[in-house]
Amino acid sequence: MPDKADLVIRSATIVDGGGGPAMRGDLAVAEGRIQAIGALGDVTGEREIDGTGQVLCPGFIDVHTHDDRELLSAPAMTPKVSQGVTTVVAGNCGVSLAPLVTDERPVPPLDLLGVEWFRFAEFGRYLEAVDAARPVTNAVFLVGHQTLRYGAMGRDLDCAASAGETAAMAAQVEAAMRAGAIGLSTGLFYPPAQAAPTEEIVALAKVAGAAGGLYATHLRDEGDALEESVAEALTIGREGALPVVFSHHKATGRKNFGKVRRSLAQIDAAAAGQKVALDVYPYAAGSTVLLPQRIDMAEKVMITWSEAMPDAGGRYLHDLAAEHGLSDQEMAVRLQPAGAIYFMMNEADVQTVLRHPMAMIGSDGIPTDPRPHPRLWGTFPRVLGHYVRELNLMPLEEAVRRMTGLPAETFGLRDRGRLVPGAWADLVLFDPATVIDRASFDNPIQTSAGIGMVAVNGEVVWADGAATDARPGRALRRAA
Ligand SMILES: [Zn+2]
pLDDT of residue 480: 58
Whether the CB-CB separation of 124 and 174 falls below 8 Å is answered with: no
Nearest to 88 by CA among 469, 373, 433, 413: 413
How far is the centre of ligand 1, averaged over its atoms, from the C-alpha of 365 (Å)? 10
Summarised one tens digit per residue, pLDDT across range 79-137 is: 999 999 999 999 999 999 999 999 999 999 999 998 899 999 999 999 999 999 999 99
Share the mean pLDDT of the chain.
Answer: 97
194-211: average pLDDT? 98
Helix (H) or strand (E) holding 286: strand 285-289
Residue 2 has pLDDT above 70, yes or no: no
How far is the centre of ligand 1, averaged over its atoms, from the C-alpha of 225 (Å)? 16
Domain edges within the chain: 4-58+421-434+443-467, 60-289+342-410, 290-341
Architecture per CATH, 4-58+421-434+443-467: Roll (2.30)
Summarised one tens digit per residue, pLDDT across range 45-90 is: 999 999 999 999 999 999 999 999 999 999 999 999 999 999 999 9
Do the domains at 4-58+421-434+443-467 and 60-289+342-410 have one common CATH topology? no
Residue 1 has pLDDT above 70, yes or no: no
What is the rounded CA–CA span in Å between residue 169 and residue 167? 5
Helices (H), ranges, 106-225: 123-133, 145-153, 163-179, 191-194, 198-210
> Confidence class of residue 3 from pLDDT cuts 50, 70 and 90?
confident
> Confidence class of residue 406 from pLDDT cuts 50, 70 and 90?
very high
CA torsion, points 193, 111, 477, 244, in degrees to nearest 10? -30
CATH fold for domain 60-289+342-410: TIM Barrel (3.20.20)
How far is the centre of ligand 1, averaged over its atoms, from the C-alpha of 432 (Å)? 30
How far is the centre of ligand 1, averaged over its atoms, from the C-alpha of 412 (Å)? 21
How far is the centre of ligand 1, averaged over its atoms, from the C-alpha of 3 (Å)? 48
CA 245 to chain centre: 12
Residue 338 has pLDDT above 90, yes or no: yes
What is the rounded CA–CA span in Å between residue 169 and residue 292? 29
Contacts of 184 (CB under 8 A, 6+ apart): 142, 143, 144, 145, 173, 204, 205, 207, 208, 213, 214, 215, 216
**Three-state secondary structure call for residue 409:** helix
How far is the centre of ligand 1, averaged over its atoms, from the C-alpha of 186 (Å)? 9
How far is the centre of ligand 1, averaged over its atoms, from the C-alpha of 192 (Å)? 13
How far is the centre of ligand 1, averaged over its atoms, from the C-alpha of 331 (Å)? 24
How far is the centre of ligand 1, averaged over its atoms, from the C-alpha of 463 (Å)? 32
455-478: average pLDDT? 97
Summarised one tens digit per residue, pLDDT across range 436-459 is: 999 999 999 999 999 999 999 999
188-207: average pLDDT? 98
CATH fold for domain 290-341: Dna Ligase; domain 1 (3.30.1490)
Whether the CB-CB separation of 353 and 121 falls below 8 Å is answered with: no
Whether the CB-CB separation of 65 and 157 falls below 8 Å is answered with: no
How far is the centre of ligand 1, averaged over its atoms, from the C-alpha of 462 (Å)? 29
What is the rounded CA–CA span in Å between residue 373 and residue 364? 9
What is the rounded CA–CA span in Å between residue 242 and residue 385? 35
Summarised one tens digit per residue, pLDDT across range 158-177 is: 999 999 999 999 999 999 99
Residue 220 has pLDDT above 90, yes or no: yes
Residue 416 has pLDDT above 70, yes or no: yes
Phi-psi region of 63 (alpha: psi -120 to 50; beta: other; left: phi over 0): alpha
323-337: average pLDDT? 96
How far is the centre of ligand 1, averaged over its atoms, from the C-alpha of 49 (Å)? 39
How far is the centre of ligand 1, averaged over its atoms, from the C-alpha of 467 (Å)? 29
How far is the centre of ligand 1, averaged over its atoms, from the C-alpha of 36 (Å)? 39
How far is the centre of ligand 1, averaged over its atoms, from the C-alpha of 247 (Å)? 7
Summarised one tens digit per residue, pLDDT across range 237-282 is: 999 999 999 999 999 999 999 999 999 999 999 999 999 999 999 9
How far is the centre of ligand 1, averaged over its atoms, from the C-alpha of 92 (Å)? 7
pLDDT above 90: percentage of residues in the chain: 97
> Confidence class of residue 293 from pLDDT cuts 50, 70 and 90?
confident
> Confidence class of residue 320 from pLDDT cuts 50, 70 and 90?
very high
